[in-house]
């Protein structure tokens, strides 16, 4: 471990319930550090952290910080950029001269001196990272993997098997990934996103170019991206290419052409061509790392997925319910493609909660086009996250652009009732806000019918 971190006794998280922050909290608790933190609201993640003995409070109050963590010399403060500037606890530790780091900086410190595999991209990085962590663990590598989602295989966002190799999700938000120095890196996509941070698409692309230059041994890029590296793709000219793709009862069976060999009859139990691309990427990274191919093939077959990434909640002959974290038009298109491929001819109801006013504004036409593909739409209010409202940018405004007759703006209170009234046989809840908290309720209501 980095010497700076070795001497720290207490680690205090501001925003501990975030998916990336909570993985770090688990990691430091495992290492024997004193860990505590603040978050805005209780969730399943904060509940799980509390069961590990991590003290968490939900009121932004300096008085709530445990006394041991007020020792400036022995305490590291880690915060997420999603925390607003007016946050009392953050401003208190700043004014007192605590050592304060962003999550990405700490990831950079952890990975320093350890062989690191990093996955970047505006879409696909969470699933790709989760597959990669699983592949390495199952093929015997002593791996620590920090995941951007909850792996269904481990019910966790952290895989802890050892410190021979580290797997990280390299996040482009706030240019966080520029704190990393990966040995092998992959870039899955560079679509416009986070324009509240980058302002221009060219600035986003420049940060990806800078990240790509940090890969010491190998760089893998999705075929078609304007970056130089080994390529991956589906039925194209890529160096790592999925070919001879078949579907058998919801499972992809395919061959993988690599620069040195052809691997036949790989199985992937995740729907959607985007997930097939994620699997190829992870497989290619694991091969470059040196994992044995036969072990990787077996491990790929046993990968169960990531919570809220094309997660089947219900799958019967009469009713299918899929929950997905998609919050960008490209991701919604990928979700739609996967549902249509796996459930052809079925009527599909989409329930969408837009995430961020700025993203809704920046991609309104693309959101409307992607949502217009479904047969029916129930639209929730915009989830603000870190933002304040923008005049004129509302879900009602977005709904007017959607080219569907069967569309409706609803409140969360009416969500279950409206879903039960629908004649659709396939239902999908979509979004990165708090719509995920409604999934259990919706599933139970559908099962009770």
115-135 pLDDT per residue, tens: 999 999 988 899 999 999 999
Residue 191: pLDDT band (50, 70, 90) is confident
User: What string of DSSP letters covers 195-206?
Assistant: HHHHSSHHHHHH
Q: State the pTM of this model.
A: 0.84
And the tokens for 50? 């509390």
- For position 31, what pLDDT does the model report? 93
Over the stretch 346-386, which tens digit does the pLDDT of each residue have? 999 999 999 999 999 999 999 999 999 999 999 999 999 87
Say what the pLDDT of residue 196 is: 56
Calculate the dihedral angle through the C-alpha atoms of 197, 200, 202, 203, rounding to the nearest 10 degrees: -30
195 pLDDT above the threshold of 60: no
Nearest Cα to Cα of residue 350 among 330, 365, 328, 370: 370
- Whether the CB-CB separation of 22 and 157 falls below 8 Å is answered with yes
Domains and CATH numbers, the chain: 7-101 (3.40.50.720), 112-301 (3.40.1190.10), 311-448 (3.90.190.20)
- Would you state the pLDDT for residue 194? 47
Question: What is the spatial order of strands in the sheet that 75-79 belongs to?
Answer: 55-57, 34-38, 10-14, 75-79, 99-102
């Amino acid at each position: 471990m980095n010497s700076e971190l070795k001497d720290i006794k207490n680690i205090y998280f501001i925003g501990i319930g975030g998916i990336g922050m909570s993985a770090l909290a688990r990691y430091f608790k495992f290492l024997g550090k004193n860990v505590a933190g603040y978050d805005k609201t209780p969730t399943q993640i904060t509940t799980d952290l509390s069961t590990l003995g991590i003290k968490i409070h939900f009121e932004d109050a300096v008085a709530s910080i445990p006394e041991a963590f007020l020792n400036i010399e022995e305490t590291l403060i880690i915060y997420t950029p999603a925390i607003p500037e007016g946050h009392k606890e953050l401003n208190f530790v700043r004014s007192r001269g605590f050592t304060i780091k962003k999550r990405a900086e700490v990831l950079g410190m952890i990975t320093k001196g350890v062989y690191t595999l990093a996955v970047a991209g505006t879409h696909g990085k969470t699933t790709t990272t989760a597959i990669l962590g699983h592949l390495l663990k199952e093929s015997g590598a002593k791996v620590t993997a920090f995941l951007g989602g909850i792996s269904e295989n481990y019910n966790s966002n952290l895989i802890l098997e050892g410190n021979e190799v580290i797997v990280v999700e390299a996040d482009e938000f706030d240019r966080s990934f520029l704190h990393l120095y990966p040995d092998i890196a992959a870039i899955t996509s560079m679509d416009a996103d986070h324009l509240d941070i980058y302002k221009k698409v060219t600035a986003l692309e420049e940060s990806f170019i800078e990240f790509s230059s940090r890969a010491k041994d190998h760089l893998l890029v999705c075929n078609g991206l304007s970056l130089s590296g080994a390529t991956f793709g589906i039925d194209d000219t890529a160096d790592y290419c999925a070919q001879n793709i078949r579907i058998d009862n919801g499972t992809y069976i395919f061959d993988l052409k690599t620069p040195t060999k052809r691997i036949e009859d790989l199985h992937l139990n995740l729907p959607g061509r985007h997930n097939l691309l994620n699997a190829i990427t992870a497989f290619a990274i694991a091969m470059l790392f040196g994992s044995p191919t036969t072990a990787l093939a077996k491990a790929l077959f046993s990968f169960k997925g990531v919570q809220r990434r094309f997660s089947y909640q219900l799958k019967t002959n009469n009713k299918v319910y899929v929950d997905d974290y998609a919050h960008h038009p490209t991701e919604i298109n990928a979700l739609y493609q996967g549902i249509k491929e796996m459930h052809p001819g079925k009527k599909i109801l989409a329930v969408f909660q837009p995430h961020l006013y700025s993203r809704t504004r920046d991609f309104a036409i693309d959101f409307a086009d992607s949502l217009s593909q479904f047969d029916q739409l129930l639209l929730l209010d915009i989830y603000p996250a870190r933002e304040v409202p923008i005049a004129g940018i509302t879900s009602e405004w977005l709904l007017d652009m959607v080219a569907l007759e069967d569309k409706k703006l609803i409140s969360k209170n009416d969500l279950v009732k409206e879903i039960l009234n629908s004649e659709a046989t396939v239902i999908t809840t979509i979004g990165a806000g708090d719509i995920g908290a409604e999934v259990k309720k919706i599933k139970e209501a559908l099962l009770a019918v």
